[in-house]
Amino acid sequence: MAGRVKELYRELVERAHTVTSAAQHEDSTVIQVGNATCENAAGSREVLHEFRKYIAASGKEDRIVLRETGCTGRCSCEPIVGVTRPGQTMVKYQKVDAEATHRIFTQHVLEGHPVPDLLLDAQMGTSPLKLLFCRSRRCADSMQGDYAEMCREKLADAGLDYVVDDIVSANCFGLCRSEMVGRLGHLMVLPDKVVYRLRNEADLDTIIAQHIQGGRIVDTLRIGDEPFSGRFFEMYGDVAFFNRQDRIALRHSGVIDPESLQEYIAEDGYQALAAVLERDDPAWVIEQVSRSRLRGRGGGGYPTGTKWDMARKAQADTKYIICNADEGDPGAFMDRSMLEGDPFSVLEGLTIGGYAIGARKGFFYIRAEYPLAIKRIQHAIDQARLNNLLGPDILGSGFDFDVEIRLGAGAFVCGEETALIHSIEGRRGEPRIRPPYPTESGLWGKPTVINNVETFANIAVVCDYGADWFANIGTAESGGTKVFALAGKVEHTGMVEVPMGMTLREIVFEIGGGVPDGKELKAVQTGGPAGGCLPAKWLDLPVDFRTLGEAGSIMGSGGMIVMDEDDCMVDIAKFFLVFSQDESCGKCTPCREGSRRMLEILERITGGTGTPQDLDNLERLAILMQKSSLCGLGRAAPNPVLSTLREFRDEYLAHVEEQRCPAHRCVALLRFQIDPEKCVGCTACARNCPVLCIQGKAKQVHEIDQSRCIKCGRCVEVCRFSAVDRL
Amino acid sequence: MTHPTPAVTDHWDQVREAAEAVLGDEIVEYIRTAAAQPEPASELISVLHKVQARYGYLDTEHLDAVAQLLQVPAATVSGVATFYHFFRLNKPARYSISVCMGTACYVKGADKVVNRLQEELGIDIGETTSDGLFGLQQARCLGTCGLAPVMMVNDDVLSRVTPEAIPAILDRYAKQSRQDSS
């Protein structure tokens, strides 16, 4: 039986390679356009349509291939278009519109001249040479000494520093698997697309002499065809954004066509499932997952291996496994991106999980608000069934497993596992008391494992590359990477995948590009409505489940929102509480009543009628609610309030003692005033004021009647001379 | 749970026919398939999704008909329909505008967009204009935070919306509606 799995998988791989290579002629140009919810919102549908028109008009349909992929997470630069001419690296363009499409097509696709002003991250500049040293733990530990520094010195000594624009210690390249033996490090040379293995200083000397000075690639040290390395450059043309990231859960997002099983298999997809079925030992899978130190990515951080082990050991005729894709945190979109960009990897992870715990039926619980994700997952399920990767007797192994989609209907509390189970059962999504835990008694009373999308996206990699490799990427407590949705007041908003233990500073400033308009960072909010606001003093905190918890926030599912000096922390706390209060299911009193009373207090404070006593009441209520609520929603809902009370107490005090909002955000505490120095008397404010409380003749200084002002801020918006101050 | 037990209503045939007439063939067929599944009651939410996709909202008579055909108590159906935000219990406007109130949109000024919409349309959140053309809602995070602030008009996602852009956006849809009807 075992041999049969291998045989059937090999057939699938061969078929996949035939299909994918038939689609890509060696001499054809490939145009890649993102197709995901955010890409589409930014206008990628129109871009795709334009390209189709141009290709048809050019009569070169056989030489120009138009591909659709998921998104790589560069939200602020979308729509993104990649062009690969025969034998060349992919060139990526940002913020492409109809006009840009025309230029890209005529100049680059047809003539072969890239369009410089449209390039992605063009402002970062392309250098003569860029050297990246892998600084993953495996590379750094085995290479004694700092090779990046050594290299810098050697180049300076040889008078070659002008050739090299930048030397970077980058995150793990992911090459460790076949390179596990002996002492090794890795060096990548850009833009030449070469990765070297470094055994010692002599190797470095050889590379400097031959490659950097002589311009000849050192074949003896060059790494051959590795899954992550060989395609690294084709995958991400925009290395500046990515060289500090690790892409594991997002390994295929924006790279493959999410609606092509063949492309997924050609990228080693389903290799892990085949290997697992071939081995025929569920306990091995669980041991791998445990050793990998993979923790639940939905936010709780429970060790996945332990959860699976409990479900495996539970005695029952039927067991279930559920993928929780009810991503409801405001500000989080990692799961949607993975479902849209790489649905097969999540499905493969779910299938392996089902096999490991002994389930024959799995569910995707997806938000109804994600129509494209639902469509992609349904498509993936259908394709997998057609190819014997789902359904009865998968790959001839005797393992039966099928998957069904259930739609959420917009209830945040359904992210809680017992509420989610109730929702799948067709009931109101209200949580219940645990224990019993779902691994013991879950869906229809059967042992059930529920994991998040990102957790499943990691499973195939753990099986493929080994638990130790995965564990080594993260920290001592938590293996692998975490995907964050970086948003708010940050230059590059988008999806970021980094190893556990990276600091907030690196994420926000080095990957995210810092706060725009030269403003000061005030706080980083992690964990959504269940998390807290971390002030700038925590920027050097290594990000992990425990460290974030100790700092007063939580990891959460991965929303990360950057706030600057213009954001009022009391207002932010109120914002999250409005959300939690609205989403409270009403089953238990502490959450239902507590959230409402807390919100009333916060409304008083931001409305200018708060008293110092309110702060104490707020704190007491918050702690009470934390301790006595039934489920995670109620227990975590006070976190934004408590963390801001602790870290930004002065802001609260300014509101209640001086009736002042330091960030000029809380409207009731604002006063609008016209600066006589700046006012030119253009009458714009007076004409636009809805209550006509601005007096003044044309070409004379205007004045606001404070007693009638409703503080709508319209005058600030319409003034072209910045003459209206918010005080 | 077992398959739905045969109804014991006196005029079951009339009741069934009435329910089927309310929901239409496509949904009746869907419910029939669902009722044959091992856990028919668990299909309630997906049936409600179907009904809303077909009729735009869940009317009381839809809920009653679903209860009859799926043989689930009407109280349960109504309990589920009112619990989940996604289900609408009132007839929606021709163009339903949802402004994302996720954190990223909020810090980028979604509240100002809402204010401007209220001003232009003369309605509050949750209301529909008297001509039935526009309805205004606040939405949970639409997961498009990189393009904040974001709003949806029916299925169109509009990104980086500013208060100044609102009148032109509304004009466009009003014009579209006039074209559709002429």
Whether pLDDT at A127 is above 50:
no
Pick among 3.30.70.20, 3.40.50.300, 3.60.20.10, 3.40.50.2000: CATH of A671-726: 3.30.70.20
Cβ pair A368:B147 closer than 8 A: no
Whether pLDDT at A26 is above 80:
no
| Token output for B67 | 């209860």
Q: Determine contact, residues A193/A236, Cβ cutoff 8 Å.
A: no
Select from B42, B43, B163 the Cβ nearest to the Cβ of A717.
Answer: B163
Shortest distance between the Cα of A29 and any Cα of chain B, in A, equals 30
CATH, domain range A480-567: 3.10.20.600
A:571-600 residues touching chain B, CB 8 A cutoff = 572, 575-576, 585
Cβ pair A38:B104 closer than 8 A: no
DSSP string, B54-85: HHSS--HHHHHHHHHHHT--HHHHHHHHHH-T
Domain ranges of chain A: 25-69+81-119, 129-237, 261-472, 480-567, 570-657, 671-726
Q: How far apart are CA A276 and CA A271, in angstroms?
A: 9
Cβ pair B145:A369 closer than 8 A: no
A25 contacts: CB under 8 Å, gap ≥ 6 = A62, A63, A65
Same-fold call for A25-69+81-119 versus A129-237: yes
The arithmetic mean of pLDDT across residues B129-152, rounded, is 84
Share of chain A above pLDDT 70, in %: 90
Whether pLDDT at B43 is above 50:
yes
Handedness of CA A515, A655, A665, B117 (dihedral sign): positive
A226 contacts: CB under 8 Å, gap ≥ 6 = A175, A177, A178, A195
Shortest distance between the Cα of B5 and any Cα of chain A, in A, equals 18
Whether pLDDT at B58 is above 90:
yes
B71 contacts: CB under 8 Å, gap ≥ 6 = B4, B5, B7, B35, B40
Residue A562: pLDDT band with limits 50, 70, 90? very high
Cβ pair A528:B103 closer than 8 A: yes
pLDDT of residue A186: 77
Q: How far apart are CA A161 and CA A709, in angstroms?
A: 63
Phi, psi of A349 (to 5 degrees): -60, -40
Kindly tell me the burial class for residue A426, based on how many C-beta atoms sit within 10 Å of its own C-beta (0-12, 13-18, 19 or more).
buried
We find that the CATH architecture of domain A261-472 is: 3-Layer(aba) Sandwich (3.40)
Q: How far apart are CA B51 and CA A596, in angstroms?
A: 33
Q: Does the complex come out with an ipTM higher than 0.90?
A: no
Whether pLDDT at A239 is above 80:
no
Q: Determine contact, residues A174/A189, Cβ cutoff 8 Å.
A: no
Model confidence pLDDT, tens digit, residues A498-517: 889 999 998 998 888 889 98
pLDDT of residue A191: 65
Whole-Å CA distances, A218 to A109, A131, A205, A223: 32, 15, 11, 10
pLDDT of residue A63: 87
Residue A142: pLDDT band with limits 50, 70, 90? low
The arithmetic mean of pLDDT across residues A243-268, rounded, is 85
Which residue type, as a one-letter code, is found at position B89? L
A:489-548 residues touching chain B, CB 8 A cutoff = 489, 493-494, 525, 528
Shortest distance between the Cα of B101 and any Cα of chain A, in A, equals 8
Model confidence pLDDT, tens digit, residues B65-117: 999 999 999 999 999 999 998 898 988 889 999 998 887 788 888 999 999 99
Q: Determine contact, residues A112/A137, Cβ cutoff 8 Å.
A: no
Whether pLDDT at A648 is above 80:
yes
Cβ pair B159:A41 closer than 8 A: yes
Look at the domain A570-657 and name its fold. de novo design (two linked rop proteins) (1.20.1440)
Determine the residue of chain A that is closest to B104 in CA distance. Answer: A488
Q: Determine contact, residues A490/A515, Cβ cutoff 8 Å.
A: yes
pLDDT of residue A130: 74
**By mean pLDDT, which of A25-39, A499-513, B162-176 is the weakest?**
A25-39
Shortest distance between the Cα of A428 and any Cα of chain B, in A, equals 5
A164-170: strand order across its sheet: A164-170, A129-134, A185-190, A194-198
B13 contacts: CB under 8 Å, gap ≥ 6 = none
For residue B149, say if its preceding peptide bond is cis, omega within 30 degrees of 0. yes
Cβ pair B101:A563 closer than 8 A: no
pLDDT of residue A135: 65
The arithmetic mean of pLDDT across residues B34-43, rounded, is 91
Look at the domain A129-237 and name its fold. Glutaredoxin (3.40.30)
Model confidence pLDDT, tens digit, residues A276-300: 999 999 999 999 999 999 999 988 8
Q: Determine contact, residues A473/A479, Cβ cutoff 8 Å.
A: yes
Establish if A135 touches chain B: CB-CB under 8 angstroms: no
A577 contacts: CB under 8 Å, gap ≥ 6 = A529, A595, A598, A599, A602, A637, A640, A641
Determine the residue of chain B that is closest to A579 in CA distance. Answer: B140
DSSP E strands in A302-401: the ranges are: 320-325, 361-366
Shortest distance between the Cα of A369 and any Cα of chain B, in A, equals 7
Residue A235: pLDDT band with limits 50, 70, 90? very low
Cβ pair A575:B48 closer than 8 A: no
A:316-375 residues touching chain B, CB 8 A cutoff = 327-333, 336, 368-370
Residue A232: pLDDT band with limits 50, 70, 90? very low
DSSP string, A15-80: HHHHHHHHH--TT-EEEEEE-SHHHHHHTHHHHHHHHHHHHHHHT-TTTEEEEEE---S-GGG-S-
A10 contacts: CB under 8 Å, gap ≥ 6 = none
Residue A170: pLDDT band with limits 50, 70, 90? low
Test mutation, A337, A366, A367, A369, chain B, max B CBs within 10 A: A369
Cβ pair B46:A407 closer than 8 A: yes
Q: How far apart are CA A515 and CA A562, in angstroms?
A: 8
Decide the pairing of beta strands B156-158 and B151-153: antiparallel
Look at the domain A25-69+81-119 and name its fold. Glutaredoxin (3.40.30)
Residue A183: pLDDT band with limits 50, 70, 90? low
